[in-house]
Each structure stands twice: as structure tokens, then as C-alpha cells.
Amino acid sequence: MKKLTTFFLLLSLLTGFFLLPQNVSAEEGGFSITIQKYKLTEGVTLSDAVPEDGTKAEQVTDINGNQLDPLAGISYEIVRVSPMEGTSEFRPVEGVDAFSTTITTDAQGVAHVGNLTAGTYRVSEQPTDTLRNVMEPVTFELPLPQRTGEALSEVYLYPKSSIQVLPKSGGTEDPDGTPSKGTTTAAGNEANKRLPQTSGTLGTMQPLYLILVLILIMGAIGGYFMQSKKHHF
């Protein structure tokens, strides 16, 4: 009986050791999303150096190395979502874990939301007369796993949607030389390229690994007690 009590006590301690840090991290809400929006006319594209993996860019320019003007007043809806069983779609989380907010870029073109808990989030650019088109909604996990290094607790997004430009009467270009709304160019198509969609299942394997570790530990401890019991008799 004493050995059995010791076994369950040790099991409880191990379970708490593996699971407590994850729960505390989620409750602290140490995750955030930052959006940097620039004024991109059709025919102007961000440089290839702009990261698309959620990391922060040291400097953002167009493909020719020119500085870009920030764009204020663009809103983004951020919703916590969960995968729909049997499909690749996501739906908003309901109940006590639900989260939804709308943030708007300031004079520097920046919109930020913090104190987010771990989970899957969808960011959707809201339509406005200022934008010619909106970016495709982006769904990703917080923290955001990386191919190398630690997962990101703060994710940076750089939407590539272009702005509306009023066409010059009777012409194909606007006064500043950029193509009008009805003009299509290869560079314009590049500007409209969607941000990469990250899988909603990223980062969700950790609980499975914890369960497997616990099973292995329980098996090892059980085997030890069975051997001790065998030698006793």
C-alpha cells in the first residue's frame, strides 16, 4: 500500500511539472500581433527582403529601395478560431475562450493588439474606399512556430494590398505616373499576392508529446514496482 501511494504521488508531481508551465504561459497572455500597413499604389511592391514568416523587418522599402509612406485608418479584425472537424476550415471560438477585436492603423501605419493567450487566430483586413483590394485572411498559431529557433510570441504582418488611385480623365495613368485602376501590370499582380497562409495545426503537437512522455514514465514506474513485488514474493 505504501508503494502504491508513493507511485501516485510521484505521478501527480510529474504531471504538474509538465503541464503547469504551459497553463501559466497561456494565462499570462504574453502574445501579441503587430500590423504595419504601407501606402502601396498598384505597380509598387514591397521588397523581397520583407519577411513573410511573422518576424519583424529591420527596414521596409519598395522593390527599388525607396522608403514607403505609412497608411493610417485601415482596420483589421482579429478573431480566435478553431479548426472544424473533418475540414480545413476554421470557425470562431465560442464560450469563455472566445476572442474578437478590431484594430486600426495609426499615423505610423501601425496597429497592435497584445495580452493574447495561446491559440489560433485569424486576421482579416476590412474593406474600405481607400483600398483597391484587401489581403486574404491570414490564420496562424500563437506562439508561431519557426523552422529554426524559438516560436514567436509577437507576430508581425505586412499587408500587400494596394490603395485606390483615381484614374486620369481620358488617360491610362495618374498624375504621378502610376497605372490607373483599370491598368494591370506584372508588378501590380505581385502587389496583390496574398500573404502566406500558415497552418492552423502548427504548434499543436506539444500536448501529444507531453501525453506520450507521461505514458512512458508511468510504464517505467509501474515496471519498477512490479519487479519489486516479484522479488518480494
The residue ranges of every structural domain in the chain are 30-202
Provide the 3-class DSSP secondary structure of residue 35.
strand
**Is the backbone of residue 115 left (phi > 0), alpha (psi -120 to 50) or beta?**
left
Name 198's Cβ contacts closer than 8 Å, sequence gap at least 6.
Answer: 54, 138, 139, 140, 141, 144
Backbone angles phi, psi at 183, to 5 degrees: -95, 135
pLDDT of residue 210: 57
CATH superfamily of domain region 30-202: Immunoglobulins (2.60.40.10)
Q: Given a cut of 90, is residue 80 above it in pLDDT?
A: yes
Confidence check: pLDDT of 36 > 90: yes
In the chain, % of residues over pLDDT 70: 60
Confidence of residue 146 (pLDDT cuts 50, 70, 90): very high
pTM for this entry:
0.63
pLDDT tens string 166-187: 555 444 344 344 443 333 333 3
